[in-house]
Amino acid sequence: SVNEVIGRTTDFATLGAERSTLKAVVETVARERGMTVAPDPRPEQGSFYRSDHFPLARVGVPSLSLKQGRNFIGRSAEWGAGQFKIYNTEHYHQPSDEYQDSWDFSGMIQMAEIALAIGRSIGDLNEMPKFNPDDEFAKVKR
């Protein structure tokens, strides 16, 4: 996504964490960094069901995907959404969809640090993550 190369944010989203005990891990990691957990920015796309981690959910393994937020540090609330729209309409899968000298990789570093913190926190849990009892994947035997 273009978001990871246009700066750092004060928020991030996780698709799937809210379905399991992973939500508490994600919220702790966000709080430790002074960040907030944003909802799925495009729920109408059904990204959880189309993600690379979905096969894990289907066999009962709680999982998530991490998305950079839209609240870019030092920018207006609308700026990130506008940049995403410009990229998707004017550059995505077009000849101009290639490296730009203006890219700011600090957002990519931020997301890698968050992913590492979430992974380490999951590894330190005393028990395996579980789906919430009312989730559609909670009853899958693994």
**In the numeric block, which tokens belong to residue 24?**
């508490």
> CB-based contacts of 7: which residues, under 8 Å, 6+ apart?
72, 73, 74, 75, 104, 106, 107
Q: What is the mean pLDDT of residues 25-31?
A: 98
27: Cβ contacts below 8 Å, ≥ 6 apart: 37
Which pTM does this prediction carry? 0.88
Rounded CA separation 40/19 (Å): 13
pLDDT single digits (tens) 35-87: 999 998 888 988 899 999 899 999 999 999 999 998 999 999 899 889 888 88
* pLDDT tens-digit readout, 103-134: 899 999 999 999 999 999 999 999 999 999 99
* 65 within 8 A of 71, measured Cβ to Cβ: no
pLDDT at 43: 84
CA nearest neighbour of 86 among 105, 100, 73: 100
More confident residue, 121 or 139: 121
Q: Which of 30, 31, 40, 35 is nearest to 65 (CA)?
A: 40
Angle at CA of residue 134, ends 131 and 139, nearest 5°: 60
